[in-house]
Structure 1
Amino acid sequence: MTEYIDVRNPARRIEKDIRPGRLRTLPWMAFYYCLSAQFTPLAAALPEFQDHESIRDAAAFFLKAKTAEQTNAVQIDIGRLDERLNLAACDGKLDAFLPPGSRATGNLTIGVRCAGPKPWTIYVPAGVKVFGSIVVTRRALARGVTLHEDDLVVTEAELSTLTAGYIEHVRSAIGKQLKMALGKGAALTPRILEQPRLVRRGERVVISAQGDGMDIRMEGKALADGLQGERIRVQNLGSRRIIEATVTSAGVVQVRM
């Protein structure tokens, strides 16, 4: 199509160059560009709410630091937050902490807080499992049994569940006696072990009376059980006198003259 320009009225050329349909779109294009100019800075602004993963990451990093000195294998699990939870976006660093009285093992909660203009604190469920070697019984054992090496075996277990403690090495338990009966595979704990009773109530014992380079031995009767180093009541079978003596070895007690 051939167009002519009226030099006395140049605007007429513009009207011919722009079709009526395009003229109608110009106001909408102008409105779009205004909106773009108005909202472009928001793309670089902080999100309105704190990302849940950043909160979980802060809790995980805290627990890793807390368990860094563990020589045993450690497994850390961080629970998920309620998806409906909306916390204001923190413009600073998240601070994780352990609530007072808590231990960094087993099932626990980790506090995560924001100290920004819109402060908040949330508690994240977590779990820390520590795995290591423990001593367990190889078979069922009765109360009062003196432990030998073939009574015991070492196995791997989750240590964080053993709140009563545990024994790591077999040599630490050999020669000790059980305060209670145990089934096969039961974990040994310090509370259920004791030094062997070297003297039993009612048994005949040797009373060793020492002093001034002399060692006089007499026959006696134990009136109580005794561990090494314990003082128990003993009856001198010769004089029928009851005295206190210290257990020194199996069947032997000592008194000072």
Structure 2
Amino acid sequence: MRLLWAILLLCLAGAAWSETVVPARTLRANTVIAPADLALRSADVPGAFSDPAALIGQETRVTLYAGRPIRPGDIGPPALVTRNQIVTLHFTSGGLRILADGRALGRGGAGDRIRVMNLSSRTTLFGTVQPDGTINVSQ
């Protein structure tokens, strides 16, 4: 009997409406989001952002169309490293620390994993972009 009442209450409760953040205009990929680029729309979209403050200063990964909800995979931290940029590669293992010049083969922000090429050996490696724009190379 309790199960029947619980099901009945869930059916009568209906959907809860909340506000969803949408772009106020179409934003091309690789655009840093400003407060004027966002608007709130009354809608219930699972997985979409509801707080504009979480998006301001982030960079679009894909083109965002006006009025459509913004999802977490659509944005990310602003890029610190661009493709073909000369970067410093850091390799640390125990007490050994090696610094080398490299070329970024991708674009990425802090925490992103990108491909890089060591300019001395022409070896392609993967590394993580650090907040200062250097690349921490792993084995």
The question of 1:180 aligning with 2:62 is answered: yes
Kindly state the Cα deviation for residue 236 of structure 1 after the two structures are TM-superposed. 1.8
Deviations 1:179-208 (A, max 9, x none): 322333332222422344433332221212
C-alpha distance in 1 between matches for 2:59 and 2:35: 13
How many residues align? The count is: 135
Q: Relative contact order (C-alpha < 8 Å, sep 6+): which is higher? A: 2
- Provide the aligned C-alpha RMSD in A: 3.3
Structure 1 stretches lacking a partner, 5+ long:
1-60, 68-75, 77-103, 105-127
Kindly state the Cα deviation for residue 227 of structure 1 after the two structures are TM-superposed. 4.5
C-alpha distance in 1 between matches for 2:18 and 2:126: 45
Kindly state the Cα deviation for residue 167 of structure 1 after the two structures are TM-superposed. 0.6
Q: TM-score normalised to the size of structure 2?
A: 0.70
Report what 1:158 is aligned to: 43
Report what 2:88 is aligned to: 206
Match of 2:115, SS?
A: strand
C-alpha distance in 1 between matches for 2:62 and 2:113: 23
C-alpha distance in 1 between matches for 2:73 and 2:123: 36
User: Of 113, 137, 141, which residue of structure 1 is paired with 2:27?
Assistant: 141
Structure 2 stretches lacking a partner, 5+ long:
1-6
By percentage of residues, which structure has more helix? 1
Kindly state the Cα deviation for residue 145 of structure 1 after the two structures are TM-superposed. 1.4
Report what 1:236 is aligned to: 118
Q: CA 1:129–1:243 in structure 2 vs 1: closer, same or farther (change >3 Å)?
A: closer
- Structure 1 residue runs of 4 or more that deviate by more than 6 Å after TM superposition: none
C-alpha distance in 1 between matches for 2:124 and 2:71: 37
Kindly state the Cα deviation for residue 256 of structure 1 after the two structures are TM-superposed. 5.7
**Whose Rg is larger?**
1
5 Å matches for 1:1-257? 62=8, 65-66=9-10, 128-153=14-39, 155-159=40-44, 162=45, 165-212=47-94, 216-249=98-131, 251-255=133-137
What percentage of aligned pairs have identical amino acids? Answer: 28
C-alpha distance in 2 between matches for 1:170 and 1:239: 45
Kindly state the Cα deviation for residue 213 of structure 1 after the two structures are TM-superposed. 5.5
Letter in 2 for 1:134: T
C-alpha distance in 2 between matches for 1:177 and 1:254: 22
The answer to whether the 8 Å contact 1:129/1:158 transfers is: no
Match of 2:92, SS?
A: strand
